[in-house]
Amino acid sequence: MAYAEDLFNLKDRVAVVTGGNGALGSEYAEAFIKSGAKVAVFDIKKENCPKIKKLMDDGKPLAYYSVDITKKDLLQKAYEDAASELGTPTILVNNAGLDSHPSAPAAQNGPFEDYPEEVWDAMIDSHLKGMLFMSQFFIKKFREAGEKRGSIINISSTYGLVTPDQSVYEFRRKNGEQYFKPVGYSVAKSGVLNFTRWLAEYAAPFGIRVNTLAPGGVYAGQDKEFIREYEKRTPLGRMAERTDYNGAVIFLASDASSYMTGSLMVVDGGWTAR
């Protein structure tokens, strides 16, 4: 096996990807399988997205669990099932979490003064409570099994590092909408950063590394004006393709990053460099 191939090799490792039925989560799941791992996908959705469905139809080593990661008892059952079916997970990608979609109800994306309490609670829980539960189960099972090397990858965002540039959305306000990228998402994604640092120090004696990946915006059929505004603020001049983060995830999961923990890896086309 070539040196680089061996360095990034995940053969026979078991990875769990939360939110693995989404646009980026399904990319991570496929990237792990292509690198030799078995994958458990956790997602609240009942129906598989086309990529996950194809992987399963093709007989790839992937198991799907429909579960709400904020419900601890249900999540524990799903995690036990995954470990029994695939083996003890040694890779965890905490990717799940709500976003405030541009087409969400007006109250979610309106003025800060009117931001709904229930939306705040759901946003924080989906990112941070789910991440807490998943990491607890991962570390407990990892230690019980006597595993020696593990990796937790927590997904943040550029909007966890810097505040959203509300001027990107000015074109919507000019059209009469009261649109702002809301506070809950940024606060949740910022919380991921110190969750990672705390957990990295705690888990290091067990052989588990914990790092944060902060991706930038991804092409997803957005309004052309939004894409134009986003791209002109990005040094590389484009939004990300769905596959642009796979290399970073494989790096953080593999022995290629064996001396890296408690760190933040930013892959955003240069958005936060300005």
Confidence of residue 6 (pLDDT cuts 50, 70, 90): confident
CB 89 within 8 A of CB 138: yes
Domain ranges of the chain: 3-261
Compute the residue count for the chain. 274
Averaged pLDDT of the chain: 95
Give per-residue pLDDT as tens, 201-257. Answer: 999 999 999 999 999 999 999 999 999 999 999 999 999 999 999 999 999 999 999
What pLDDT does residue 142 have?
Answer: 98
Confidence of residue 108 (pLDDT cuts 50, 70, 90): confident
Beta partners for 108?
A: none
**187 pLDDT above the threshold of 80:** yes
User: Positive or negative, the Cα torsion across 148, 129, 52, 30?
Assistant: negative
Q: Model pTM? A: 0.96
Give per-residue pLDDT as tens, 14-57. Answer: 999 999 999 999 999 999 999 999 999 999 999 999 999 999 99
Return the CATH number of 3-261, one of 3.40.50.720, 1.20.140.10, 3.40.640.10, 3.10.129.10: 3.40.50.720
HSE-up (13 A, CA, CB side) for residue 9: 9
HSE-up (13 A, CA, CB side) for residue 18: 30
pLDDT (average), residues 110-120: 93
Please give the structure tokens belonging to residue 168: 């990107």
What pLDDT does residue 86 have?
Answer: 98
Q: Which of 25-29, 172-176, 259-263 shows the lowest per-residue confidence on average (mean pLDDT)?
A: 172-176
pLDDT (average), residues 57-65: 97
**104 pLDDT above the threshold of 90:** no
Q: What percent of the chain clears pLDDT 70, i.e. is strictly above it?
A: 99
Q: Which of 93-107, 121-135, 137-151, 170-184 shows the lowest per-residue confidence on average (mean pLDDT)?
A: 93-107
* Burial tier of 172 (Cβ tally within 10 Å: 0-12, 13-18, 19+): middle
DSSP letter for each residue of the chain: --HHHHHT--TT-EEEEETTTSHHHHHHHHHHHHTT-EEEEEES-SSPPHHHHHHHHTT-SEEEEE--TT-HHHHHHHHHHHHHHH----EEEE-------TTS-HHHHS-GGG--HHHHHHHHIIIIIHHHHHHHHHHHHHHHTT---EEEEEE--HHHHS---GGGGHHHHHTT------HHHHHHHHHHHHHHHHHHHHHGGGTEEEEEEEE--B-SS--HHHHHHHHHTSTTSSPBPGGGGHHHHHHHHSGGGTT--S-EEEESTTGGG-
Confidence of residue 102 (pLDDT cuts 50, 70, 90): low
**106 pLDDT above the threshold of 80:** no
Nearest to 261, CA basis, from 154, 187, 160, 158: 154
